């Protein structure tokens, strides 16, 4: 089985305008999207598109394609323009294939691995999921970041891999997305990452005027995916998805107390749409 879990250390370090630091231990699933059906048969705790203690639902991913808010749709289309009808009645890997074709990235998807949170007893919130995409020759060709905010919006960013033989990959893109009310929407996002193996590393910096305002890094170790490892993970990191949303609000309260500037979502979204329109 290619799928596994990663036990992780998540570090957030806000450097400006005031410092705030926290770190948490979590776990995430690293799923070979071709194995979802077989995992659901082998792992009694795991359900694919059905309820279980831990489950994976296709509808939790590629939500940006079907967003009802017009503003959210415009913002999502900045990075990955798409025809929504092409994604109907498809699973996650099939949708990923369509997206790669629409973006004309110059390769045909073979293997796709998704680093994400699973539903815990039906509840899901994943701040960001990462898709690692490989061609038929086993070359690493693209990495997608599927970013959710607490308002139900979703935006997909992608990093095209120019040198598949590299050990460390990086890319920088305009954020233009309301993720946190305590950091500006128009920062640049800088990714640094490696292909997951026995260890994993993903770092994202939020940069304003060449200065890092927020440094986020995820590092950890691989464990096999089994009934035992999932029971262990659920006991070691209980209700990890509910914990994620609780910790987001707890850290937001700390930033509010520190009097960090607060950005309203409606105002930020309007400014983002103006910025996107001015690019055309």
| Domain ranges (residues) in the chain | 4-279
**Sheet strands side by side (includes 54-56):** 46-48, 54-56, 119-120
- pLDDT bracket for residue 239 (50, 70, 90): confident
Which helix (H) or strand (E) segment holds residue 213: the answer is strand 211-224
pLDDT (mean) for 92-96: 98
Contact 200, 194 (CB under 8 A): yes
Q: SS3 breakdown of the chain: % helix, strand, coil, rounded to 5?
A: 30, 35, 35
Task: Identify which has the larger pLDDT, 131 or 251.
Answer: 131
Helix (H, G, I), strand (E, B) or coil at 95: helix
pLDDT (mean) for 95-114: 97
Helix (H, G, I), strand (E, B) or coil at 82: coil
Dihedral angle, C-alpha 2, 29, 226, 139, nearest 10 °: 10
Q: 217-232, pLDDT tens digit by residue?
A: 999 999 999 999 999 9
pLDDT of the residue at 270: 95
Q: What is the pTM of this model?
A: 0.96
Q: Mean pLDDT for the chain?
A: 94
pLDDT (mean) for 21-37: 96
Which token pair is 235? 């006991």
pLDDT (mean) for 46-74: 95
pLDDT greater than 80 at residue 279: no
Q: 128-156, pLDDT tens digit by residue?
A: 999 999 999 999 999 999 999 999 999 99
**Sheet strands side by side (includes 111-116):** 154-160, 140-148, 128-134, 111-116, 20-32, 4-14, 211-224, 199-208, 188-193, 169-174
pLDDT of the residue at 280: 60
Least confident range from 26-30, 171-175, 218-222, 275-279: namely 275-279
Q: 169-212, pLDDT tens digit by residue?
A: 999 999 999 999 999 899 999 999 999 999 999 999 999 999 99
pLDDT of the residue at 247: 85
């Amino acid at each position: 089985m290619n799928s596994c879990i990663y036990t992780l250390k998540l570090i957030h370090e806000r450097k400006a305008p005031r410092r705030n630091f926290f770190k948490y231990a979590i776990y995430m699933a690293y799923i070979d999207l071709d194995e979802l059906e077989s995992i659901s048969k082998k792992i009694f705790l795991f359900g694919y598109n059905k309820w279980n203690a831990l489950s994976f639902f296709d509808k939790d991913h590629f939500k940006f394609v079907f967003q009802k808010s017009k503003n959210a749709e415009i913002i999502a289309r900045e990075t990955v323009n798409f025809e929504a009808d092409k994604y109907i009645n498809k699973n996650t890997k099939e949708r990923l294939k369509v997206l790669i074709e629409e973006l004309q990235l110059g390769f045909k998807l073979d293997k796709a691995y998704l680093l994400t949170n699973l539903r815990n007893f039906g509840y899901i919130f994943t701040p960001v999921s990462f898709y690692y995409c490989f061609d038929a020759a086993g070359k690493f060709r693209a990495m997608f970041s599927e970013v959710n905010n607490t308002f139900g919006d979703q935006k997909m960013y992608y990093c095209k891999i120019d040198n598949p033989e590299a050990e460390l990959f990086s890319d920088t893109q305009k954020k233009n997305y309301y993720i946190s009310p305590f950091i500006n929407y128009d920062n640049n996002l800088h990714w640094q990452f490696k292909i997951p193996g026995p260890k994993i590393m993903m770092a994202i910096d939020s940069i304003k005027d060449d200065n890092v305002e927020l440094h986020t890094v995820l590092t950890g170790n691989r464990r096999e995916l089994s009934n035992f490892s999932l029971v262990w993970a659920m006991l070691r990191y209980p209700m990890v998805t509910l914990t994620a949303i609780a910790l987001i609000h707890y850290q937001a309260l700390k930033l509010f107390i520190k009097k960090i500037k607060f950005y309203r979502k409606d105002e930020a979204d309007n400014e983002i749409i103006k910025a996107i329109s001015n690019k055309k």
